A and B are shown apart, each in its own frame.
Chain A
């Protein structure tokens, strides 16, 4: 994992000092509300419905045990005893006291953490695949590039006052687990015909009011040109992105207005001036970053005996077998596995963890996974390097802690934004909807029979819950002060990304679980052998779903 050098430390320290100065001037009346707002947002501080919210950056989702313990300490001493993991792999505290925020920042800085650029019209945290470095289908480890882009984006002098927020995701595997198509820029590492590594560059993806998937503007970009190419894209966006209407200000609107081809042409023209300039990535520079992402000291012997034992235990304990099936992922090193910790037990808001749980996870990470944890954009956690021989022991501990809910990738693994319970922008509550659905469909045999199925919920058009790209998506809408839910089907977030289609008129909260039941029944009735929900939808279209929902739910 990346460790700060003197420059990183200096910058974070200077940032803490800068924001303290800004806050003092604001309180002294030297900065107006309007002037202070972007400054506090670029430091992760929101003023929310019930309390301030502080969003802390977790660069590309990586956390050490020491950092987890510090988050636990902050949750306990500065918040109400819990933290929330977001769909952008960050952490949020929903109840800090404004006057204590500077102390929280100082606590974070001690463990090389901060809240820099977690909000505001700037380049946000870079996100990636939670299985980076261990995935069996990995082409190249994206983490060194994530770190390089993190540095490039942090305090970039030209791009701190963009028309709107800007999100970048990087994937290094054949199958995209970073949802790069729904980011302002999506970067896919792959090899060209000559076998050389490069980036496919997508631009203009994003959800919200006008959801769009990113369009490819360059099939192959030599990695050393990454920064200058990004500079070219961002400069065009900074110069020509719309600033007259905040709902039309994302880069996707510019890409759409110009057309992807013209956009690509203009990027190339701008880049021609920057290419091979001082922003070019030197070999030594990427080599220096790469040395932070080398393999841990793997020493497990892949043993046939271990597999026999796992099979025996799975045979004996159904719950262990289920967990192996859904929550354990293959690892490129024989003898190892990656384990997903579910933060979706029924009755807990998706992504929420208590201080004690954070500490327990820190301990588990130390004992089982080289002291490192990853945050996923599905709001779960991953221990990426677990010895297969230790899986059963780990499972028992996870079960005791409540992290072994064996529903990863199923309907039970709902992505859900904080919604109306916390967020001041919400049109409707989202957490109670997630809970109602989890309760309605708590039969594991049924969930397993349904197989891979994503259900995403957002409390408003801003789409923090990625509802457009859920196989089933739920959006909270407000009609004359009443909360309603619009339902869509057919979305997908991975390599086959697609936006869902709206089913029809929206529903009251109590109707939602029954509507979902109809949708699922339609799938089960119509599916061919082995077809996933998405495959069935793609074959039969939306009509059969509409018919069953509106014929019967009326």
Chain B
């Protein structure tokens, strides 16, 4: 089970991820829905408050696909299919900088702690990490650099 790093601590994850469009679960707990389900049921889902409505995108899904609706979501997760697949870094920035998304932006899937600092600079503020990663390692990786050459999309620390 991955653990969720948020606000510099491992915290309980209140979101339940709905894996694919085949998963028809209708729990009342806050759900992270796949894009297909959102598209299908968008009108109905819009009635939910952001605290209950989340979505997750895979590497190839376009942030533009939800660009107009980002304010409806309390959590957006970007799924990394492999840690070498860096597409999600761009997705994070697009959601923050182009679409003005302000809610929780989560990196999920195959990420390594050594990517936390760059992920954070690309706008992510929540990270699913394997159980084996200690808090100390995670924070050291998150804080790898104290300055930078580029402008970025870092959330307030």
Cβ contacts B105-139/A at 8 Å (1 or 0 each): 00000001011011101100000000011000100
How far is A260 from B65 in the complex, measured between Cα atoms in Å?
Answer: 26
Are A11 and B147 neighbours in the complex by a CB distance under 8 Å?
yes
How far is A11 from B148 in the complex, measured between Cα atoms in Å?
Answer: 8
Partner of B145 from A155, A160, A162, A239 at Cβ < 8 Å = A155
How far is A279 from B90 in the complex, measured between Cα atoms in Å?
Answer: 15
Are A238 and B146 neighbours in the complex by a CB distance under 8 Å?
no
Are A160 and B86 neighbours in the complex by a CB distance under 8 Å?
yes
Contacts of A239 in B (CB 8 A): 87, 90
Are A14 and B87 neighbours in the complex by a CB distance under 8 Å?
no
Are B84 and A157 neighbours in the complex by a CB distance under 8 Å?
no
- Interface membership of B21, Cβ < 8 A: no
Considering the complex, which residues of chain A in the window 135-152 have a beta carbon less than 8 Å from any beta carbon of chain B? Answer: 151-152
Are A157 and B118 neighbours in the complex by a CB distance under 8 Å?
yes
Contacts of B119 in A (CB 8 A): 157
How far is A38 from B114 in the complex, measured between Cα atoms in Å?
Answer: 11
Interface centre among B137, B146, B150 (most CB of A within 10 A): B150
- Interface membership of A25, Cβ < 8 A: yes
Are A38 and B151 neighbours in the complex by a CB distance under 8 Å?
no
How far is A38 from B118 in the complex, measured between Cα atoms in Å?
Answer: 15
CB A132 to nearest CB in B, in angstroms, measures 21
Contacts of B150 in A (CB 8 A): 152, 155-157, 279
CB B44 to nearest CB in A, in angstroms, measures 31
Partner of B83 from A152, A161, A278 at Cβ < 8 Å = A161
Are A158 and B122 neighbours in the complex by a CB distance under 8 Å?
yes
Cβ contacts A209-236/B at 8 Å (1 or 0 each): 0000000000000000000000000010
CB B60 to nearest CB in A, in angstroms, measures 9
- Interface membership of A18, Cβ < 8 A: yes
- Interface membership of A495, Cβ < 8 A: no
- Interface membership of A110, Cβ < 8 A: no
- Interface membership of A7, Cβ < 8 A: yes
How far is A161 from B119 in the complex, measured between Cα atoms in Å?
Answer: 11
How far is A35 from B122 in the complex, measured between Cα atoms in Å?
Answer: 21
CB A263 to nearest CB in B, in angstroms, measures 17
Are A22 and B151 neighbours in the complex by a CB distance under 8 Å?
no
Known contacts A22-B114, A235-B90, A239-B90; A157/B132 CB under 8 A: no
- Interface membership of A3, Cβ < 8 A: no
Chain A contributes a number of interface residues (CB within 8 A of B) equal to: 34
- Interface membership of B13, Cβ < 8 A: no
- Interface membership of A396, Cβ < 8 A: no
Cβ contacts A152-188/B at 8 Å (1 or 0 each): 1011111111100000000000000000000000000
In the complex, residue of chain A having the shortest beta-carbon distance to the beta carbon of B117:
A157
Interface centre among A14, A21, A152, A158 (most CB of B within 10 A): A158
How far is A514 from B93 in the complex, measured between Cα atoms in Å?
Answer: 58
Interface centre among B85, B119, B140, B149 (most CB of A within 10 A): B149
- Interface membership of B152, Cβ < 8 A: yes
Considering the complex, which residues of chain B in the window 72-119 have a beta carbon less than 8 Å from any beta carbon of chain A? Answer: 83-87, 89-90, 93, 98, 112, 114-115, 117-119
Contacts of A38 in B (CB 8 A): 84
- Interface membership of A528, Cβ < 8 A: no
- Interface membership of A243, Cβ < 8 A: yes
Known contacts A157-B89, A157-B152, A158-B122; A39/B147 CB under 8 A: no
How far is A161 from B81 in the complex, measured between Cα atoms in Å?
Answer: 13
Are B145 and A11 neighbours in the complex by a CB distance under 8 Å?
yes
Contacts of B149 in A (CB 8 A): 7, 11, 151-152, 154-156
Are B83 and A14 neighbours in the complex by a CB distance under 8 Å?
no
Contacts of A22 in B (CB 8 A): 114
CB B1 to nearest CB in A, in angstroms, measures 18
Partner of A158 from B93, B112, B137 at Cβ < 8 Å = B93
How far is A397 from B131 in the complex, measured between Cα atoms in Å?
Answer: 63
- Interface membership of B68, Cβ < 8 A: no
Are B89 and A161 neighbours in the complex by a CB distance under 8 Å?
yes
Partner of B132 from A10, A14, A30, A277 at Cβ < 8 Å = A30
- Interface membership of B9, Cβ < 8 A: no
Partner of A31 from B112, B118, B145 at Cβ < 8 Å = B112
Known contacts A11-B145, A14-B145, A279-B150; A121/B84 CB under 8 A: yes
Are B86 and A157 neighbours in the complex by a CB distance under 8 Å?
no
Contacts of A25 in B (CB 8 A): 137
- Interface membership of B19, Cβ < 8 A: no
Are A160 and B118 neighbours in the complex by a CB distance under 8 Å?
yes
Are A35 and B112 neighbours in the complex by a CB distance under 8 Å?
yes
- Interface membership of B144, Cβ < 8 A: yes
- Interface membership of A479, Cβ < 8 A: no
- Interface membership of A538, Cβ < 8 A: no
- Interface membership of A552, Cβ < 8 A: no
Contacts of A21 in B (CB 8 A): 140
- Interface membership of A480, Cβ < 8 A: no
How far is A160 from B112 in the complex, measured between Cα atoms in Å?
Answer: 13
Are B114 and A158 neighbours in the complex by a CB distance under 8 Å?
no
In the complex, residue of chain A having the shortest beta-carbon distance to the beta carbon of B118:
A157
In the complex, residue of chain B having the shortest beta-carbon distance to the beta carbon of A122:
B86
How far is A18 from B112 in the complex, measured between Cα atoms in Å?
Answer: 14
- Interface membership of A273, Cβ < 8 A: yes
Are B89 and A238 neighbours in the complex by a CB distance under 8 Å?
yes
How far is A239 from B93 in the complex, measured between Cα atoms in Å?
Answer: 12
Closest 3 CB pairs of A and B: A161-B86, A157-B121, A157-B118
Besides A161-B89, A238-B86, 14 more A-B contacts (Cβ < 8 Å) are A7-B149, A25-B137, A35-B112, A35-B114, A155-B118, A155-B145, A155-B148, A155-B149, A157-B117, A157-B148, A158-B93, A162-B86, A238-B89, A239-B87
Interface of B with A (CB < 8 Å)? Answer: 83-87, 89-90, 93, 98, 112, 114-115, 117-119, 121-122, 132-133, 137, 140, 144-152
Task: Pull 10 A–B residue pairs with CB atoms less than 8 Å apart, ordered by A.
Answer: A15-B145, A18-B145, A21-B140, A31-B114, A35-B83, A157-B121, A159-B86, A160-B86, A160-B89, A161-B86
